Structure 1
């Protein structure tokens, strides 16, 4: 966030400096009010560019084995351009290298899911995926596994065939 602030301030200084240079070269044909307008426009452009570039930059920085399974688009009334082109301010990734399978229950997989947000720290969520019954669950304290590998005290969420998390995990596990 600090670097974004510094980049925005630098963009404002660059925008104002460009107009001041134009005023000097054109010998006053550019009005004085254009300098702060250019600074503000450059700062707004830098902020918009930073918001649209965040997802691609963050996705490229993910380590090998991480697969993005969901994204969250943002549209805001105070950013009217987002209705034409929403930007991504969050995504969910699964660590396919962390997928563990219990040999007693081969359709059941334990893994780590990560939730990333534009202005928040990444959150790790230990999860279970049941490929046989097409469902998933978040692991919470108090989960117990039977001798046959079946988890107890789990609140399963049924999913449809298009659930990207289940598709990615089950394809990796098989």
Structure 2
């Protein structure tokens, strides 16, 4: 976030400097207000670009073992252009290298899922997916694993057939 602020300020100063240079070359024919307006317009454009580019930069920097399972796009009235081109505000990525299975329960997979948000720190949680049963559960306190692979104390959530998180965990995507 700090570097984006610096980049926005530098872009504004560069735009104002370029307008002043063009004005000097043109013999002072441009109006005086043109430099600050150009600086402001470029700063707004830089901010919008950073908003749209955040997802590509963040997901592109992930290790190969992290697979993006789901994105959440957002629209806002104070950003009217998002109604034409929504912005990805957050996404979930599954760490496929962390996938674990018990031989006694081949339909269950345990993975780490990371959640990334535009203006929030990344967080992670362990998710248990029941591939044949189309359900998932977040592992919390009170969950225990038996020696035969049975899991006690887990709260399952039934999901639809096309659930992106379970689909990614189970290999459908």
The alpha-carbon deviation at position 147 of structure 1 amounts to 3.5
- Deviation of the 1:106 alpha carbon: 1.1
Q: Distance in 2 between matches of 1:99 and 1:147?
A: 18
- Structure 2 counterpart SS, 1:142: coil
The corresponding residue for 1:92 is 92
Question: What is the CA-CA distance between 1:103 and the residue it aligns to?
Answer: 1.2
SS at match of 1:3: helix
Once the two structures are TM-superposed, the CA of residue 14 in structure 1 deviates from its matched residue by: 0.8
Q: Which residue matches 2:115?
A: 115
Unaligned runs of 5+ in 2: none
What's the offset of the Cα at 1:59? 1.0
1:74 and 1:166 mapped to 2: Cα distance? 23
Report the counterpart of residue 18 of structure 1 in structure 2: 18
Match of 2:147 in 1: 147
Give the 5 Å matches for 1:41-56.
41-56=41-56
Residue 148 of structure 1: how far off its partner (Å): 2.7
Q: What are the equivalent positions in structure 2 for 1:1-174 lying under 5 Å apart? A: 1-171=1-171
- C-alpha distance in 1 between matches for 2:112 and 2:51: 27
Give the Å deviation of 1:121: 1.3
TM-score by length of 1: 0.95
- Cα distance in 2 for partners of 1:37, 1:122 equals 36
User: How many residue pairs end up in the alignment?
Assistant: 172
Range 61-70 or range 161-170, more displaced: 161-170
TM-score using structure 2 length: 0.95
For the aligned residue pairs, the C-alpha RMSD in angstroms reads: 1.2
Deviation readout 1:125-157 (Å, 9 max, x if unpaired) = 111001121100000011012333121111111
Mapped partners of 1:168, 1:83: distance in 2: 28
Task: Spell out structure 1 runs of 4+ moving beyond 6 A.
Answer: none
How far apart in 1 are the matches of 2:128 and 2:11? Answer: 46
Cα shift at 1:64: 1.2
